[in-house]
Amino acid sequence: MAVRWLLLLAGLPTFLLGVFVWVVIQHFPSAKMPSTLKHPAKLLFMYYMLQYLIALGNILEKLRICAMPRFLQFLQGLMMIKKDPNVLVTDMHFGTVPVRLFKPKELSSKPHRDFYHGLGNLLASETDSVVLMVGYRKLPDYHHPVLANDCLNASTYFLKNLESFGVDPFRVVLCGESIGAWAVANVMQILPSIPSLPQIQAQVLIQPIVNLINFQLPSHQQNKNVPFLTRDMMFNCMLKYLTIDLSWKDAMLTGAVIPLEKWKKYRKWLSYHNIPRRFWSQDPQLEFFAPFNETAYLETKHVWSAEISPVLADDKIIAQLPKTFLVSCENDILRDDVLLYKKRLEDQGVSVSWYHVEDGFHGCLMLCDKKCFSFPCSMKVLNAVVSYIKGI
């Protein structure tokens, strides 16, 4: 028995190294490092490490030991975050939804672990504001609409109890990044219809996904293989969350799920014509949809709801939104989602401020406090958001 354990322990490093080499060989040909990126080697290494962890998670999932998303969440939970002596951090629940409250100028009693914890500390300290982070439920156990509902319920509770949290009801801002920005866009289209709630002063959407229909926009062509959010990664996460079978991926990518009558109605909001020409490729592959597949449409038609694609909300819903700060990154597959939503808001008279990061990539903000893993674009996004919030 001892010999078997020794053989297993000896073989484990070889196995782990082999998986890493396989990941590098698999992703090296497709990974794209645009010329505007700063420190491309560092980003490429971090991307390989992420793909390596995903590969290990997939192996554990196939062995029925642990689901891949849960494995990544476990690793995330191991990350120790340094206390900020100027911020008091409190974990609590709003009903069944876990939240984390950051209050500036006081001492936290214990360290916390979370990838976004440092960002919460920075926002609370730099803006001298109370920051609430929602611990919405995630894959693999929870699917749409759990994430959006958790954010809506937590926001509603918080808004009804602002006084108890020491928050000025005239300076409330909703802020989100990536899928969190999608949740903010979703929640902000609902909150105005709930009576007696304080009015939100602004929404801050950092690299949001607001369109799950047209995947032939310029940024989807240009940045489909740029870390961290490649097209394959985005689709794998998105389809799992929406409980759409991965076999419909190609039909969605090629537009075969788009009925002609719906495209005629919504192209004014979804077409590449809404994207400024300077963001087009020199030789753009403009929208050319595959023949309509009714079966694929029936399996994916829920993406046409404003709950999933906020850019499709009615004009009257868009028009009542508060002033908005949008952040886009040049090397992000979702860059054009930001541009679509920017035009959508402006066309309905919403005041929009827009910050574009030429050397930015998807997810760069969450690295702002990660020291050697941070990038210049990380601080650019953070400073822009802080400046905007302080100006409200």
Write out the catalytic residue numbers: 178, 332, 362
Give the position of tokens 């609430």.
Answer: 132
CA 111, CA 143: separation in Å to the nearest integer?
30
Q: How many other CB atoms sit within 10 Å of the CB of residue 381?
A: 24
